[in-house]
Amino acid sequence: MKKRTFTTEEKIRIVKEASENGVTATCEKYGLYAASFYSWKKKLDQMGVEGLQHGMTPEHLKRIRQLEKENQLLKQLLAEKELEGRFKSELLKKQYALEKKRRS
């Protein structure tokens, strides 16, 4: 028998359908083992939609979120440095223009 893989959207739909129609009936309809269904449900409850992606564990998800926060902080620091550099260059241009007027 060929192994069937389900997309994240299909897994979510199956979990929702099972809550409405019952686990046994839904598992029989899609040819699922109950263990697979309960594994999906546990991951969905613990980690949300990201948890249903292939190979995603709570540790992976935690690390990804940590890296996303760090990335956001670095982007903010870079933007601040860009603004600071732009302000300094504008200030230097203004000072140079004032000195040039004074000399004239």
Instruction: Identify the band that residue 73 occupies on the pLDDT scale cut at 50, 70 and 90.
Output: very high
Average pLDDT over residues 33-58: 84
**Is the pLDDT assigned to residue 79 strictly greater than 70?**
yes
**In the predicted model, what is the mean pLDDT of the chain?**
88
Distance of CA 65 to the CA centre of its chain: 7
50's CB contacts (< 8 A; 6+ apart) are 56, 61, 64
Q: pLDDT tens digit string along 12-22?
A: 999 999 999 99
Residue with tokens 């809550």: 19
Instruction: Identify the band that residue 2 occupies on the pLDDT scale cut at 50, 70 and 90.
Output: low
